[in-house]
Amino acid sequence: MSLARTRKTPLVAVGQRSFDLLSLSVAFVLAVNAAHLPWWLSLALAFTLGWRWWQRRQRSGRVPAWIKLPLLALLTLAVVVQYGNLFGRAPGTALAIGLLTLKLLETETRRDVRVGAGFACFTLMTALLFDQGLVSTVVVALGLLPTLATLRALEPAQPSTGMRRALLPELTLLAAALPLALLAFLLVPRLSAPLWGAPARDQARTGLSDRMSPGAFTELLIDDSPAMRITFDGSPPPPDQRYFRAFVMARYDGVSWSYRDAPGAPPVALDVTHAVDYQIRLLPTHRRVLPTLDVPMAAPPDAAMRRDRVVIAARPVDGALTYALRSATEYRLEPRLDADRRRWLQLPTGFNPRTLALGQAWRQHYGNDDAAIVRAGLALFHDGGFRYTLAPAPLGRDAMDDFLFDTREGFCEHYSSAFTVLMRAAGIPARVVTGYQGGYWNKLGNYLLVRNSDAHAWSEVWLAGRGWVRVDPTAAVRPERVSLGAAAAAGDQLGWYRSDWLQGFRNRWDVVNRWWDQGVVAFDALRQRALLTPFGIRDTDTTTLGLLLAIGSTLFIALGLAWALRRRQPREPLRNAWRELEHKLARRHIVRRVGEGPQHYLSRAARALPTQREELVELMKQYLDLRYAHDEPTPESVHAFRRAVRDFRVVNVVK
Amino acid sequence: MHDLLQRLQRRAEQRLPALTRYRRPESLPIELHRRRIYILPTGFGLGFSVLLLVMLVGALNYSNNAALLLTCLLGAASAASMLVAFRSLDGLRLDHVRAGHAIAGEAMELVLAFHSRRPRSAIRLDLADGTAAFALDGREAIEVKLHLPTHRRGWQPLPRLRLWSTWPLGLFRAWSWLHPDQAVLVWPRPEAAGPAPQAMVDDARHMRLHRGEELAALRDYRAGDPQRHIAWKASARHDDLLVKDFEQPRSQPQWRLDWRRLHGMDDEARIARLARWLNEAQSQRCSYSLWLPGNDIGSGSGPLHYARCMDALAGLP
């Protein structure tokens, strides 16, 4: 085979069309990856791309090495400065995208363009490592269009089309490939454990931290990406009871509250009056804490219940996690507080003297009536001229003093922190609890959507005979925060894109995200093994999956081949009728020889079948007339010939 | 390396007749069908599959299902492109091959007429070291021009042609062999220099009239005669139009080229000399005749006459 013959292809510059499409692909890669690249890098790369495109329009040719090499060094340096090293997911992606852009500088030949297009496919995929949402997946998949069109534009001799029409065949190709892709997606065996190191931890930007200092939530409160989705067995609890606990914080050092993990200690006692069953689908937080509705009664598998009924997972939640729980919503938590009492009264010495004085004054005024002191605290927030804002004034060293007596503005962190300090000063055991509160009940999907912006902090006070009681001082200032949610409480501080109708639309649209999350993102090894459960196979192992994949692919290949091999025969009724006649005669062993004309053939047939001589001669005359007398025989005469052929019966000759 | 590969190829063709089934000369028209179209991934296709593999392992390792879906989509699209590559050749028909004229050692222009019922793009045809790319619009036949190198005069069978395409993405190469059972006639190469033809026929006979402007006679008008040749005055005295008939110019000498007069030379040298004389006669617009063994071509001139004489020379045993 002459395929082995290597043909030296001369270095021919590719056409403008291929280069334009490749530039478009790279621009697409930059756009989908811009969300997680540093903005200055995106900008610099976009500028490089634009410059190169403009430069090649003026004059084709490679960019000289004295420009390329410094740029390459600059890129490497930039990545190292930004991320600290070159390896890992984020720096690796940034480097790959930078290299792709620089590759354009030396792209002149077909080979360069092909390398660039292949690399563009890869860098498109890296965008999905950071965001697997439905929208981003679809956008990234659309990014394949210019890339594939680039490869197509490399082929010589094709009808010229407009730029927009150039993407159409690729769309058809992708649409045709979709069924096979879905089959492969379903059946490609998933790994139960990663082959190499689990993905490097993202910076803990999202999710709740185990420390809380007033003002630290701000970033979280404006992040309205979904944090978790909850389905309830039965009706959901009313909005003012949708408190999802994450951390219980005991220690206050004057600046921040912190949770200290104490493995080994048994969970505190819990008397349950009413409980709720539910499942939580928690999106990746890269932390180990699992938020639970109110007070959980037991920990899910692979997680442990700590002393204060905080649920800590065995591993950080790096992928979306689903867990089912049963929680008490009416309860007495830790009815007896013995040795621990001191822990919940701890206050740093030398901080917030005025706050401490106020607490002690309340204690003297109300005597032993703890509940009255709690009411006094709430009344202070309600009537003391406090304002809810996401952008409060900064606080000084005695943060609680400044807040309570000076600035009087803040959000949940400030209120819960100040309230807890006040209660402790008055001698009531108190603590700060962080977690989520509220959420959007999606009627369409029957689930509760909790966003990161629903993060919340509140207080718990211990009252004799009632155990720990939840007190939400923020609700005293801004009741909408609890009844309507974070967005309502923030009012118009969040900008136009959080306006009501848009937020409502986003909440409703989330049902699609949830469907995507459940159907695609959460389709892991476990779900895959249960794939055939409806067909009675409990555990689908890798061999079966491989077999199914092979069978399914073969089916699709057969379908594809049927399409590829299909030939549209032109409609030729005369020829078809002739063939039918040939078949009929062939059954009597009168086969037309190669190169034998119709006249000779039918004469021979007439001699072989003397009983039907007249019929055959008539057919022959008709056929010759139709075939050779006219350019285009009339449909009626062709029809008559067909009928004659159909009526022709080969009679057995009696020998 | 190259020789080794060719040897292996020949060996494989002997061992596996299926590979060579459609490489024997066939009569035209040749229509491509599934039994004679071969497909293999290109080098880029192999590289691309490695890339897909990397993407697959990456997506599986990070258990990132969106990335896996993207990889599957890209893989399925690549696989589908194989079928498209096949379809770009399937059903293509080579109707006829027309050859130009060339003297030995020069490239001969071949015109291959292809026909297809549906549009096709980026089909390439390899002949010797040349490649031509063409597209068909599905309605009209297309003529592809290629150059065939020639070495010696005489009938030269058409070599095997490779028709191939990497449409649409360049990942797969579909190819098929065409070996039309047709030969082209290569004209002899004229000698570089030599004596002029000695035997001219006496010219006087042909110099009877000159310039062709002398009026010879008047004759009846025939359709197509130029108007300015009509003899209006003479016509006025007759019922029909009369036309002035001019004598054709016969200013050029006539050459009589004869094989028999070239004594003491071998056949090829004689042919080369005659070819040179033919060229000279043609460039001087002489009228000439040619005598060859078994072929006597009468006097004449013009490109057709020249081609006839050269064909006769080329066809000599």
β partners of residue A496 = none
| For the ranges A120-129, A605-614, B21-30, B268-277, the one whose mean pLDDT is highest | A120-129
Position A202 pLDDT exceeds 60 = no
CB of B159 less than 8 A from some CB of A: no
Which residues in chain B have their CB less than 8 angstroms from residue A561's CB? 83
Q: What is the pLDDT of residue A11?
A: 60
Q: What is the pLDDT of residue B21?
A: 58
A539: tokens are 């555990």
Query: pLDDT above 70 covers what percent of chain B?
Result: 89
Per-residue pLDDT reduced to its tens digit, A399-445: 889 888 988 888 888 889 999 999 999 989 999 999 998 888 888 78
Q: How far apart are CA A144 and CA B49, in angstroms?
A: 16
Q: What is the pLDDT of residue A200?
A: 47
Position A550 pLDDT exceeds 90 = yes
**A75-106 burial, b if ≥16 CB within 10 A, otherwise e?**
beebbeeebeeeeebbbbbbbbbbebbbbbbb
Contact B90 A565 (CB under 8 A): yes
Is the peptide bond prior to A263 cis by the omega test (within 30 degrees of 0)?
A: no
Of A174, A194, A522, the CB nearest to B73: A174
Would you tell me which residues 212-271 of chain B have a C-beta closer than 8 angstroms to some C-beta of chain A?
none
Comparing CA positions, the residue from A365, A403, A361 lying closest to residue A381 is A403
Q: Write the Ramachandran bin of A61: left for phi over 0, alpha for psi from -120 to 50, otherwise beta.
A: left
Q: Which of A402, A472, A510, A517 is catalytic?
A: A472
Q: How far apart are CA A453 and CA A451, in angstroms?
A: 5
Distance of residue A70 Cα from the nearest chain B Cα, in angstroms: 28
- Could you give the C-alpha distances from A437 to A52, A227, A412, A472, A485, in angstroms and in order? 51, 12, 11, 11, 8
CB of B73 less than 8 A from some CB of A: yes
Contact B67 A125 (CB under 8 A): yes
Q: Is A121 considered catalytic here? A: no
Q: pLDDT band for position B252 (50/70/90)?
A: low
Position B203 pLDDT exceeds 50 = no
Position A507 pLDDT exceeds 80 = no
Q: What is the pLDDT of residue A30?
A: 94
Which residues in chain B have their CB less than 8 angstroms from residue A523's CB? 65
Q: How far apart are CA A320 and CA A279, in angstroms?
A: 13
Q: Which of A224, A412, A414, A510 is catalytic?
A: A412
**Single-letter code of the amino acid located at B38:** Y
Mean pLDDT for all residues in chain A: 84
Which residues in chain A have their CB less than 8 angstroms from residue B175's CB? 3
CB of B81 less than 8 A from some CB of A: yes
Per-residue pLDDT reduced to its tens digit, A24-73: 999 999 999 998 888 999 999 999 999 999 998 888 778 888 888 999 99
Q: Is A412 considered catalytic here? A: yes
Would you tell me which residues 69-108 of chain A have a C-beta closer than 8 angstroms to some C-beta of chain B?
none
Which residues in chain B have their CB less than 8 angstroms from residue A190's CB? 60, 63
Q: What is the pLDDT of residue A483?
A: 67
Contact B70 A125 (CB under 8 A): yes
Q: pLDDT band for position A183 (50/70/90)?
A: very high
Give the best residue of B1, B22, B62, B176 to mutate against chain A (max A CB count within 10 A).
Answer: B62
Strands A455-463 and A430-437: antiparallel
Q: Which residue has the higher pLDDT, A336 or A148?
A: A148
Say which residue the tokens 């080979």 belong to: A111
Query: pLDDT above 90 covers what percent of chain A?
Result: 26
Q: What is the pLDDT of residue A3?
A: 38
Q: What is the mean pLDDT of residues A121-140?
A: 90
Cβ-count burial of B260 within 10 angstroms (0-12 exposed, 13-18 middle, 19+ buried)? Answer: exposed
Distance of residue A45 Cα from the nearest chain B Cα, in angstroms: 24
CB of B39 less than 8 A from some CB of A: no
**Is residue A312 within 8 Å of residue A285, measured between CB atoms?**
no
Say which residue the tokens 């010939």 belong to: A641
Position B212 pLDDT exceeds 60 = no
Position B202 pLDDT exceeds 50 = no
Q: pLDDT band for position B77 (50/70/90)?
A: very high
Q: Which of A401, A456, A510, A517 is catalytic?
A: A456
β partners of residue B161 = B178
- Could you give the C-alpha distances from A448 to A134, A236, A245, A311, A518, in angstroms and in order? 19, 8, 15, 20, 14
Q: pLDDT band for position A178 (50/70/90)?
A: very high
Distance of residue A18 Cα from the nearest chain B Cα, in angstroms: 12
CB of B14 less than 8 A from some CB of A: no
Q: What is the pLDDT of residue A537?
A: 76
Distance of residue B119 Cα from the nearest chain A Cα, in angstroms: 9
Q: What is the pLDDT of residue A43?
A: 94
Q: How many CB contacts within 8 angstroms connect chain A with chain B?
A: 172
CB of B91 less than 8 A from some CB of A: yes
Per-residue pLDDT reduced to its tens digit, A455-481: 888 999 998 888 899 998 888 887 777
Distance of residue B76 Cα from the nearest chain A Cα, in angstroms: 5
Is the peptide bond prior to B168 cis by the omega test (within 30 degrees of 0)?
A: yes
Of A148, A156, A182, the CB nearest to B133: A156
Q: Which residues contact A612 (CB under 8 A, 6 or more apart)?
A: A606, A648, A650, A651
Question: Which range, of A214-218, A337-341, A647-651, B268-272, averages the lowest pLDDT?
Answer: A214-218
Which residues in chain B have their CB less than 8 angstroms from residue A148's CB? 77, 169
Per-residue pLDDT reduced to its tens digit, B101-135: 888 888 899 999 998 888 888 899 988 788 889 88
DSSP class of A518:
I
CB of B41 less than 8 A from some CB of A: no
Distance of residue B92 Cα from the nearest chain A Cα, in angstroms: 11
Position A201 pLDDT exceeds 60 = no
Q: How far apart are CA B61 and CA B79, in angstroms?
A: 24
Q: Is A382 considered catalytic here? A: no
Q: What is the pLDDT of residue A644?
A: 87
Q: Which residue has the higher pLDDT, B21 or B11?
A: B11
Q: What is the pLDDT of residue B221?
A: 80
**A562-573 burial, b if ≥16 CB within 10 A, otherwise e?**
eebeeeeeeeee
